[in-house]
Every structure is written in C-alpha cells, then in structure tokens.
Amino acid sequence: MSNPAFVLKSVKNVVFEERPILPVMPKEVRVKVEQTGICGSDVHYWQKGRIGKFIMKEEDTMVLGHESSGIVVETGSEVSTLKVGDRVAIEPGFPCRYCDNCRDGKYNACEQMYFAATPPDDGTLQKYFNAPYDYCYKIPDHMDMEEAAMVEPVSVAVQICKRAKLQAVDNVLVFGCGPIGLLCQAVSKAYGCKKVIGIDISDGRLEFAKTFGADSVYKMPMRKETQGFEEFAKTVAQDINSKFGFEQGADVILEATGAEPCMAVGVYASKFEGRFVQAGMGKEFCSFPVTDALIKQLSWTGSIRYSTGVYPTAVELVASGKVDVKRLITNRFKFEEAEKAFELVHEGRTDVIKVIIEGVQD
C-alpha cells in the first residue's frame, strides 16, 4: 500500500511525498481519509510556521490538515465499538488521558496532546491516518463525508458556546462572519438564544449570515481619521445596542475575528456581568479597555479546541440538520490540487467560506 501525503517541509514550502503506513496499535483504527477541510491554522503554519507557542522547528516536517472524515479500513485488537467499513468523523487531538487536566475533562489543556497538523505532529492530509478508536465518531447513514469533516469546525464553535455558558434568554453578538463566526451564530440559534447578531465588514458575508444562523447583522464601520480608538469603539457599541434594542447591552460576546477594534467594541457593547469569549487569534498583544471590563465585572475567557462532550454534540447538531454545514462549503478540490486549495484560502476572498479537499482516490 502507498500513503501519499501533503507535507509542509518548511515555511511556504509544501510537497507531495510518500509517508510510511504506521502499524495499528491495539486501541487504534486506521482510517482512509475521505474529506478534509482547510482551517486557518493550517494556512498560518504554511505561511508563518507558528501559532503562539506552537512553533515548527527547522528540522520538523509535518503533514497538514486536521478537519477530516474517513472510512475505517483496519481495527486494533482491542477495538470493539468500530468495524471495518464504518464511516467516521475524526477528532484530531489525542490527549494523554492521565494528567490532572485530562482527568478533569479539560483535555484540551493536556501538555502531552498529539494534535494533528500542530508541530511536530502529522495531520490528516494523507491517504491513511491512525487514530484512537474513541476519537473516531461513527456517523449516521444520512450524513455524507463532507458533513463529517465539517464536524471539526462545528466542535470549535460548540466549545466557544460552552465557554460562554449560553442560555435561551441570551442576546448574543458574534464578531466575524467567517467559518467559525458563522458556526457560532448557528450553534447559538440551535441552543435557542433569543437574538443572535452577526457582525462583519463584508457585505457578502453579512448577506450570507442573514440566511444562515443570524437573526440580523451589523456592518462594522471604518474608523474616521478624526476619531480616537476609544471614541470609535464606544460609538459603534452604542449604535449596535440602540439598533437591536439591547438597552443594558448584550448578554454574550463571541469574538471570532481577533481584530482589536472588535474586541474593544465587544467590551463596550456588553451588559453588566456579560460573558465575553475570545476565539479569534490576531496580534499576540492587543489594546483592551480594561477599566470598562472591570467596572462591568465582565466574565472574559478564551477558548481553544474542544473538551469533554463537545465532539458528540457537534455530530448531533450536524446529523439533526440544526447546523447546515453543507451551505458553508464554497470550493472543492482533489487531493492533487491541495496547494491550489491552500492558495485560495490564503487569498482571503470574502466569497470563499469553506474549502474542502477530497481524499486520495484509489
């Protein structure tokens, strides 16, 4: 058997090459990868070689990709819940299971985590990928492999909403109408939130958001040369709350852009003791209206990957149709066109939402 893979050799240098087919351990399954979505983190490693503390060393090479689905082609000797032929969504992070964080259900904080396509760990853009059987989720017959691959970004949104402790009475502002922002909007509505507002600078993405998960949308204005940063953020926040009738401010802010102005507007737009979840990654150091956050007793938190129970919830949201992920897929490529697919995502076009790469065909 051959195992073609799409490999990051160094920054901006990707190649196709054969990778060894690893033996299947007793509690593992071998999955033939069928579909893989491109995440912004994949593109960031390709272009920059690092995200925060996760840095690709000079001697490292790495198979890219982590949003994948596939078909089980081999099972380990101790696997009883999956069989050859099962179609699965792959959760791409495998924790140690034994540290305090893992034992407390917060395995996204595991220091021994193997996470696909995070240096130095290989990802899923290869023909075959081995994974622990309990991190492969069998999907129902009516779900296709594209939907199963999209379970990963849905899980990211579910984790963000979990961190926000969403309730049905909440009014929610979501900054960003890219894939994660759109999915945060859809998950918020699936959870029954009262009003969900999508915020972006792109007319096209806002129009899409209105038909996807948002009750309404707001176009973020550009700051005038005569406006200071603080004045701008306060003015926009007041306009948002006035337009949507949030007299006391929004209950929840989900920030999925990483843009400094959005963070500031979110703080000023939140209500007293609002919940603010930072999910977008922008500059590593940002200006932040600390005094207003303090006076409001704002509950600010971050969100990374997913924790206990998130992936099964995401599978259910997609399987039930409550989150229609197929509508997010705007571009499809064959495996041999992977570099072209990455280049398209890197362009940052507003008409491109989610790009999917088909697995290696026999």
Structure confidence by residue, pLDDT tens digits, 278-303 = 999 888 899 999 999 999 999 999 99
CATH 3.40.50.720 residue ranges for the chain: 158-302
26-36 burial, b for 16+ CB within 10 Å, e for fewer? eebbbbbbbbb
Q: Give the per-residue pLDDT at 86.
A: 98
pTM over 0.85: yes
What is the C-alpha separation between 116 and 94, in angstroms, rounded?
Answer: 9
pLDDT over threshold 90, residue 319: yes
Q: Give the per-residue pLDDT at 261.
A: 96
The β-bridge relationship of strands 195-200 and 216-219 is: parallel
CATH superfamily of 158-302: NAD(P)-binding Rossmann-like Domain (3.40.50.720)
Contacts of 350 (CB under 8 A, 6+ apart): 202, 204, 205
- What is the DSSP track for 297-352? T-EEEE--S--TTHHHHHHHHHHTTSS-GGGGEEEEE-GGGHHHHHHHHHHT-TT-
Q: How far is CA 105 from the centre of its chain?
A: 20
Q: Of 106, 126, 102, which is closest to residue 116 (Cα–Cα)?
A: 126
Percent of the chain having pLDDT more than 90? 95
Q: Give the per-residue pLDDT at 289.
A: 95
| Residues linked to residue 17 through DSSP beta bridges, in sequence order | 5
Q: Give the per-residue pLDDT at 282.
A: 86
- Ramachandran class of 41: left when φ > 0, alpha when ψ lies in -120 to 50, beta otherwise: alpha
What is the C-alpha separation between 163 and 284, in angstroms, rounded?
Answer: 21
Q: Give the per-residue pLDDT at 362.
A: 82
Architecture of domain 4-149+324-358: Alpha-Beta Complex (3.90)
What is the amino acid identity at position 142? H
Q: Of 140, 129, 148, 151, which is closest to residue 29 (Cα–Cα)?
A: 129
Structure confidence by residue, pLDDT tens digits, 63-100 = 999 999 999 999 999 999 999 999 999 999 999 999 99
Q: Give the per-residue pLDDT at 336.
A: 98
8 Å CB contact between 240 and 232: no
Structure confidence by residue, pLDDT tens digits, 212-229 = 999 999 999 999 999 999
Q: Give the per-residue pLDDT at 1.
A: 81
Split at pLDDT 50, 70, 90, the class of 343 is very high
Q: Of 201, 235, 195, 194, which is closest to residue 218 (Cα–Cα)?
A: 201
Q: Give the per-residue pLDDT at 152.
A: 98
- Other CB atoms within a 10 A radius of the CB of residue 146 amount to 20
CATH 3.90.180.10 residue ranges for the chain: 4-149+324-358
The β-bridge relationship of strands 270-278 and 250-255 is: parallel
∠ CA(213), CA(157), CA(287), 5° rounding? 100
